[in-house]
Amino acid sequence: MPRFSGVRFSGILLCVLTLIAWAQERKIAGIVLDPDHAAIPRASVRLLKPNGIEVERTLTDSLGHFEFRRTCPGDCSLEVRITGFQTQTQPADQKVIVLGLAPVQERIAVTATRTETPTEQIGASVTVITGEQIEQQQQLLAGDVLRQVPGLTVVRSGGLGATTSVFSRGGNFDYNKVLLDGIPLNEPGGRFEFSSLAANDLDRIEIVRGPQSALFGSDAMASVIQFFSRHGEREDDRPHVALNFDAGKFRTLHGGVDLNGAIRGFDYDLSYDRLNTDNEIPNSDFRDSTAAANFGLSLGQHTQLRWISRGDSSFAGTPGQVAFGQPIPSTLNSFFRKADGYTGFSVSNQTTSRWDQRLAYGFARTRQRSTEFGLDPPFTPQFGASRAQFEIFDFLSNFVNDTRRHHLDYQSNLRVGLADQSWGQHIFTTAFEWDRENGFLNDFGATQAPTRAQRDNFGGTFQYQTAVGRLFLTNGVRVEQNGSFGRTVIPRSSAAYLLRRNSGRLGATKLKFNFGLGIKEPNFTESFSPDPTFLGNPDLRPERTRSFDFGIEQRLWNDRAKIEVNWFDNRFRDLIEFQVTSFSPFSGTFFNLNRTKAQGAELVLETAPLSGLRFTAGYTYLNAEITKSNTPSDPLFGDKKQLLRRPRHSGSVGAAWDWRRLNVVTTATYVGRRADSDFLGLMPPLTSDAPYTNWQLALTYRIAKHLSYTAAAANLLDQHYMEALGFPALRISYSTGAKFNF
Q: Tell me: the pLDDT tens digits for 527-574?
A: 999 988 889 999 999 999 999 999 999 999 999 999 999 999 999 999
Return the DSSP state at 228: E
* DSSP per-residue letters across 667-719: EEEEE--EE---SS-EESPP-EE--EEEEEEEEEEEEETTEEEEEEEE-TT--
pLDDT, position 5: 45
Strongest mean pLDDT among 3-7, 28-32, 470-474: 470-474
For residues 380 and 699, give the distance between their C-alpha atoms in angstroms, rounded to a whole number.
45
For residues 404 and 455, give the distance between their C-alpha atoms in angstroms, rounded to a whole number.
11
Per-residue pLDDT for 24 more than 60? no
What is the rounded end-to-end Cα distance, in angstroms, of the chain? 70
Mean pLDDT of 680-690: 93
Instruction: Tell me the C-alpha to C-alpha distance, in Å, between residue 362 and each of 110, 183, 409, 410, 519.
Output: 18, 5, 8, 12, 22
* AA letter at 252: T
Burial class (CB in 10 A: 0-12, 13-18, 19+), 389: exposed
pLDDT, position 127: 96
Q: Give the DSSP H or E segment for 2.
A: helix 2-25
Which candidate, 304, 337, 342, places its Cα nearest to that of 318? 337
The DSSP bridge partners found for residue 493 are 475, 515
pLDDT, position 421: 58
Per-residue pLDDT for 624 more than 70? yes
pLDDT, position 179: 97
Burial class (CB in 10 A: 0-12, 13-18, 19+), 257: middle
Share of residues in the chain with pLDDT > 70 (%):
95
pLDDT, position 498: 94
Mean pLDDT of 97-109: 89
* AA letter at 256: G
Q: Give the DSSP H or E segment for 703.
A: strand 692-704
Mean pLDDT of 150-176: 96
Length of the chain: 742
Per-residue pLDDT for 165 more than 90? yes
3-state secondary structure of 323: helix
Mean pLDDT of 683-708: 96
Mean pLDDT of 642-652: 97
Return the DSSP state at 643: P
Parallel, antiparallel, or unpaired: how do β-strands 223-229 and 176-180 relate?
Answer: parallel
Per-residue pLDDT for 21 more than 60? no
How confident is the model over 303-333, as pLDDT tens digits? 999 999 999 999 999 988 999 988 776 556 7
Contact predicate 488/521, CB 8 Å: no
Work out the mean pLDDT of the chain and round it to a whole number. Answer: 91
| Position 353 confidence tier, pLDDT thresholds 50, 70, 90 | confident
Domains of the chain: 24-98 (2.60.40.10), 226-239+246-263+278-299+312-399+407-741 (2.40.170.20)
Report, in this order, helix, strand and coil percent for the chain, each rounded to 5: 10, 55, 35
For residues 486 and 453, give the distance between their C-alpha atoms in angstroms, rounded to a whole number.
16
| Position 419 confidence tier, pLDDT thresholds 50, 70, 90 | low
For residues 111 and 409, give the distance between their C-alpha atoms in angstroms, rounded to a whole number.
15
For residues 477 and 484, give the distance between their C-alpha atoms in angstroms, rounded to a whole number.
20
Contact predicate 256/200, CB 8 Å: yes
Strands, DSSP E only, in 444-526? 451-468, 471-482, 486-500, 506-520
Which candidate, 561, 567, 462, 476, places its Cα nearest to that of 518? 476
How confident is the model over 423-442, as pLDDT tens digits? 788 999 999 999 999 999 99
Contact predicate 77/12, CB 8 Å: no
For residues 669 and 194, give the distance between their C-alpha atoms in angstroms, rounded to a whole number.
19
Instruction: Tell me the C-alpha to C-alpha distance, in Å, between residue 96 and each of 41, 100, 302, 394, 421.
Output: 14, 13, 19, 69, 25
Parallel, antiparallel, or unpaired: how do β-strands 96-98 and 29-33 relate?
Answer: parallel
The DSSP bridge partners found for residue 622 are 600
Mean pLDDT of 360-382: 91
Residue 521's contacts (CB-CB under 8 Å, 6 or more residues apart) are: 188, 189, 190, 218, 219, 455, 457, 482, 484, 485, 542
Parallel, antiparallel, or unpaired: how do β-strands 688-689 and 649-659 relate?
Answer: unpaired
Mean pLDDT of 109-135: 95
pLDDT, position 18: 42
Phi, psi (deg, nearest 5) at residue 436: -110, 120
For residues 178 and 157, give the distance between their C-alpha atoms in angstroms, rounded to a whole number.
20
Return the DSSP state at 324: G
Mean pLDDT of 277-288: 94
Instruction: Tell me the C-alpha to C-alpha distance, in Å, between residue 644 and each of 566, 596, 624.
Output: 23, 12, 9
For residues 153 and 378, give the distance between their C-alpha atoms in angstroms, rounded to a whole number.
34
Instruction: Tell me the C-alpha to C-alpha distance, in Å, between residue 493 and each of 419, 426, 478.
Output: 20, 15, 12
Mean pLDDT of 639-648: 96
For residues 380 and 390, give the distance between their C-alpha atoms in angstroms, rounded to a whole number.
6
Per-residue pLDDT for 672 more than 90? yes
Return the DSSP state at 148: G
3-state secondary structure of 700: strand
